[in-house]
């Protein structure tokens, strides 16, 4: 009587052969290919902007003025007023949107809990990030420009509306990551809820919040559509944000891009390089803040 072999059968751990393997390989290569498909246009845009923009950038282009008319040849005047306008308008928008956005995120994360109102507001903030930026421009045109006229401040309001939901979303995500033990420790010392939030939760989350804010600013600084009907078209620098027409880099790119003149194209590329540089610096700053200061991040 032969006994049943006690030796267990070997499990075949080799990669399956034939069509199954080919399909798996194919799928992996398609995934890699899709990443390559993203790098190509990105590289193409960046190389073009740098190659064509670098020649027109110099100190008088960045700080000089007045903004030349689109028919002017390259080298006349400068985009100083537009650089100043972009910085002013974005800064005022940031000053308005960030405190409101962070406070709203505090409501959602610290006070909202699981109640329906907080869930509803969170949902609306998400939906608001999808509202087209040109709608913000039309909105501010209706409630502000029709009554008080064109100004840099109107542009700031429109950009602020655009930034608000982005700031809420990113701050909320960070506040959620602050461990409850920190809050409990503070409550145990007898602190009130607002004190816990302001002195314990916010400092713990500040790195992540700043990083999110910088990304929102980068997004707003590059936006054209909300400014289109709000700030008008100034040719000289306007240091007063609250009155009179202003101008900004994205608007200069837009007006130069839609004209067939050689000088306009040169100015457009120069302005595009300046704008991309501003946006990238803000993004790199956000990464550095995350790496250096953020205690909690994704």
Binders in 231-260 for other proteins, by CB under 8 A: 250, 253-254, 256-258
Contact 231, 246 (CB under 8 A): yes
Q: Does 17 bind other proteins (CB under 8 A)?
A: no
CB-wise, 48 or 60, nearer to other proteins?
48
Stretch that binds other proteins, among 62-70, 73-81, 192-200, 204-212 (CB under 8 A): 192-200
Give the end-to-end CA distance of the chain in Å, rounded to a whole number: 65
Report 124-143 residues binding other proteins (CB under 8 A): 124-128, 130-136, 138-139, 142-143
CA-wise closest residue to 84 among 62, 53, 68 = 62
Binding mask 151-190 for other proteins (x = CB under 8 A): ----------x--xx--xx--xx--x---x--xx--x---
How far apart are the C-alpha atoms of 79 and 63, rounded to whole Å? 6
Contact 231, 148 (CB under 8 A): no
CB-wise, 5 or 10, nearer to other proteins?
10
Q: Does 224 bind other proteins (CB under 8 A)?
A: yes
For residue 221, the minimal CB distance to other proteins (Å) is: 8
CA-wise closest residue to 176 among 105, 100, 101, 124 = 105
Cα Rg for the chain, rounded, in angstroms?
26
Q: State the number of CA atoms in the 13 A half-sphere of 192 facing the CB.
A: 2
Residues comprising the chain, all counted: 298
Q: Does 272 bind other proteins (CB under 8 A)?
A: yes
For residue 49, the minimal CB distance to other proteins (Å) is: 7
CB-wise, 21 or 239, nearer to other proteins?
21
């Amino acid at each position: 009587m032969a006994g049943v072999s006690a030796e267990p059968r070997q499990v075949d751990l080799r990669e399956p052969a034939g069509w199954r393997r080919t399909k798996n390989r194919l799928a992996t290569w398609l995934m890699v290919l899709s990443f390559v498909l993203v790098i190509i246009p990105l590289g193409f845009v960046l190389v073009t902007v740098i190659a064509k923009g670098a020649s027109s950038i110099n100190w008088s282009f960045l700080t000089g003025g007045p903004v030349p008319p689109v028919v002017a040849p390259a080298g006349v005047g400068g985009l100083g007023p537009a650089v100043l306008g972009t910085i002013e308008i974005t800064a005022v928008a940031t000053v308005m949107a960030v405190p409101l956005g962070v406070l709203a995120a505090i409501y959602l994360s610290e006070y909202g809990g699981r109640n329906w109102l907080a869930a509803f507001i969170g949902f609306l903030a998400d939906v608001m990030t999808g509202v087209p930026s040109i709608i913000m421009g039309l909105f501010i045109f209706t409630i502000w420009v029709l009554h008080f006229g064109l100004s840099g401040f109107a542009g700031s309001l429109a950009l602020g509306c655009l930034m608000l939901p982005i700031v809420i979303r990113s701050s909320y995500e960070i506040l959620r990551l602050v461990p409850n033990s920190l809050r409990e420790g503070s409550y145990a010392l007898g602190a009130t809820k607002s004190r816990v939030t302001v002195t314990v939760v916010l400092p713990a989350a500040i790195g992540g919040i700043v990083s999110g804010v910088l990304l929102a600013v980068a997004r707003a600084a590059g936006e054209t559509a909300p400014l289109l009907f709000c700030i008008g078209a100034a040719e000289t620098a306007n240091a007063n944000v609250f009155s009179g027409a202003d101008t900004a880099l994205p608007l200069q790119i837009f007006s130069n891009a839609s004209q067939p003149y050689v000088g306009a194209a040169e100015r457009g590329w120069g302005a595009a390089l300046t704008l991309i540089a501003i946006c990238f610096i803000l993004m790199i700053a956000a990464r550095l803040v995350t790496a250096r200061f953020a205690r909690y991040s994704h």
